[in-house]
Amino acid sequence: MILGVSYDLLRWEERNLIEEAKKIGNKVYPLFTKDMTFLTSEDAWYQDVDAVIQRNTSHSRAVATSMLLESMNFRVYNDSLSLVRCENKIQTTFLLRSRGIPVPKTAIAFSRDKAMEMASKLGYPVVIKPVEGSWGRMVARAQDEDTLRSLIEYQEFTNLQYKTIYYIQEYVNKPNRDIRIFVIGDEAPVGIYRVNEKNWKTNTALGAIARPLKIDEELRDLALKVKEIIGGFFLGIDVFEDPERGYLIGEVNGVPEYKNTVRVNQFNVSGFLLNKLNEVIKK
C-alpha cells in the first residue's frame, strides 16, 4: 500500500503511524499541510497514493484537506463529512439522538434568555460547551444562574464561530472517570478509562490518567452503532457512565489521539489501523 499521512503537527501518533507503515512494507508520503497547496489546473504529485490518513489537529485544516483530496478522487480516512459530524457537537448529539443512541439531556438556544430558560429546565448544575472545540477547552460547569450568565457572557466575547449559539447540557453524575473507546473499521478493539480524581473534567490533556478498559458487549455494540451513524473509519468515542441510565455518548473524535491507549493497554493501535485499512483497500 502507498499511504499518505496528512498532518499539521508531528506528534507521537503521526510518527508511530509512519514508522509502523514502513515497518510492514508500505511506502509513505508524509503530507505536511502547511507546505501543501492545491491548484485546479494541476494534479497532486502523489497521484499514486492508495489512501490518505487524516491526522490534522486543526479541525478546519482536517476538513479542508479531506474535502480537497476527496475532490481529486483520493480515498481519505476520515472523510470530510464524518469530520464535520464529529467536530460539531450539535450535529453529533442530535444526529445520534435521532437514531436512538443514548446521549445526555442537551439544549440548544440562540439567545441568552432562552439559554438561561433551558438551563433551568435541565436543572443545575449544567455544563456549557462551545459548539466546536476539543481537549476540554472552554467547557465549564455552572452551579447556578449567576455562574451560567457569566460563562455565557464570556463565550459571547470570544472569537468562536458559534459564539451566540448556546450548547447547554445536563451535568451527568458519573464516577470520576469517563470512557474513550476506539472504533477502527468494523471493530472496537481497545479503549481506556480516563480518570481524574482532582477535576470533574476527564480529558487527559487536563491531567486525567489513562487506565486499561475491559470492553463489554454492550459498550462494543453501542460504539459500532455510533460509527454506523457518524461514518468514518477511525473514531474515538467518549462515553459517560450514568448510575441509572447506563452508557451515554458524550462526544465523537474524528482525529483521536491514542498514545496513552497504546501505553496502558500494550496494544498497537497504528498497526491495527493499518491492517484494517489494507483490508479495505484490497476490496
Distance CA 178, CA 55 (A): 24
Average per-residue pLDDT for the chain: 94
Whether residue 69 sits in one domain with residue 115:
no
Cβ count within 10 A of residue 190: 23
Is 178 within the bounds of a domain? yes
Is 100 within the bounds of a domain? no
User: In this structure, what CATH number is given to the domain that contains residue 77?
Assistant: 3.40.50.20
The pLDDT value given to residue 166: 97
> Which parts of the chain fold into alpha helices (H)?
12-23, 59-71, 80-87, 89-98, 112-122, 145-156, 217-230, 259-265, 269-282
93, 106 contact by CB (below 8 A): yes
Q: Of 170, 185, 204, at which residue does a domain stop?
A: 170
Whether residue 209 sits in one domain with residue 156:
no
58, 8 contact by CB (below 8 A): yes
pLDDT, tens only, 204-217? 777 789 999 999 99
The pLDDT value given to residue 283: 76
Whether residue 186 sits in one domain with residue 251:
yes
How does residue 41 score in pLDDT terms, banded at 50, 70 and 90?
confident
Whether residue 182 sits in one domain with residue 129:
no
The pLDDT value given to residue 134: 78
Whether residue 233 sits in one domain with residue 268:
yes
Q: How do strand 51-54 and strand 2-7 relate by DSSP bridges?
A: parallel
Whether residue 181 sits in one domain with residue 124:
no
Nine cell digits for residue 13: 501518533
Is 121 within the bounds of a domain? yes
Domain residues for the domain of 50 are 2-85
Q: Of 115, 142, 170, at which residue does a domain stop?
A: 170
pLDDT, tens only, 89-139? 999 999 999 999 999 999 999 999 999 999 999 999 999 999 988 777 889
Whether residue 44 sits in one domain with residue 140:
no
Is 98 within the bounds of a domain? no
Cβ-count burial of 151 within 10 angstroms (0-12 exposed, 13-18 middle, 19+ buried)? buried
Structural domain tally of the chain? 3
pLDDT, tens only, 52-88? 999 999 999 999 999 999 999 999 999 999 999 999 9
Is 159 within the bounds of a domain? yes
Q: Which residues of 126-147 are buried (b: 16+ CB within 10 A; e: fewer)?
A: bbbbbbbbbebeebbbbeeeeb
Q: What is the pTM of this model?
A: 0.94
Q: Of 147, 170, 193, at which residue does a domain stop?
A: 170
